[in-house]
Amino acid sequence: MSSLAQSIFTMPDLPEVGPKDFERAARILHKRAGIVLGEHKREMAERVLATRARAMKLEEVRLYLDYLEQNPQSGQWEVFVNTFTINHTAFFREQHHFDILAKFAQSRKKPFSVWCCASSTGEEPYSIAMTLRESRAVPDTEVSILATDIDTRAAAAAYEGVYSDERAKAVPEAYLHKYFYRGIGRRTGMVCVKPILRNMIDFDVVNLLSPDWPTEQKFDAIFCRNTMIYFDRATQTKLLERFASVIKPGGLLFVGHSENFTYLTKAFRLQGQTVYVAT
């Protein structure tokens, strides 16, 4: 076999994964981002850790974890956390939430503000923006939307606002025409969010466990859907109390269909259909 063929088909061995590396990685991930790394993900996680160690030319995963703990400001943390985040989202997912949001916005004082705190690749905040533009008289001057995510790759994709036609199928045709450009040439089969929609949203990267959130404003509504299922109960309770501190009286908290926080806090009461109201 030629040297070129060998370089293509021969992969170097992965660094050694020690017996306690998974548990240690799970601890530091939980401490940094609140994410619980379950035992069922051990095999996947160990391979990911070994791959990251090899990328840094380290012979053992232990040394990679040493580096993370000894360098809390390193850019490697961004890669580490991004690796274990899940970005499953869609336009107008759980449509009843957007119906509730539209009616709620019409009843609130101006201006109206929303925080989408797990915005992933952008489908959710853009769905919020379309809903509010269609439900208010002068939306550009009355509405502000903050869209944040811990995953830097997802946040960058959200800001770009480019999606396949398949991803955009859930968007009503009238909204597609009004709020998206259709791709041509090499962009055929894609759509891109128009500035009229993107300019309604401020995008940022935020770790919900950070002691300081990058905003002092109060919100009429907070979307935190299908996110806290990855946190333990203590972290969920802490976040609910923090959400209560940045939401306006009577504001709404939208959560995922499998999330129930009725017994974790008195700051919110269940209004119905996975929507909570600030007490």
Annotated binding site: 87, 89, 93, 124, 149, 207-208, 225-226
- Rounded Cα distance, 41 and 22, in Å: 9
Specify whether the backbone of 131 is left (phi greater than 0), alpha (psi in -120 to 50) or beta.
alpha
Instruction: State the binding site for S-adenosyl-L-methionine.
Output: 87, 89, 93, 124, 149, 207-208, 225-226
Q: List the one residue out of 188, 194, 189, 127 whose CA is nearest residue 161.
A: 194
109 neighbors 144 (Cβ within 8 angstroms)? no
Q: List the one residue out of 21, 68, 75, 71 whose CA is nearest residue 48.
A: 21
- Rounded Cα distance, 271 and 279, in Å: 11
- In whole angstroms, what separates CA 169 from the centre of its chain? 21
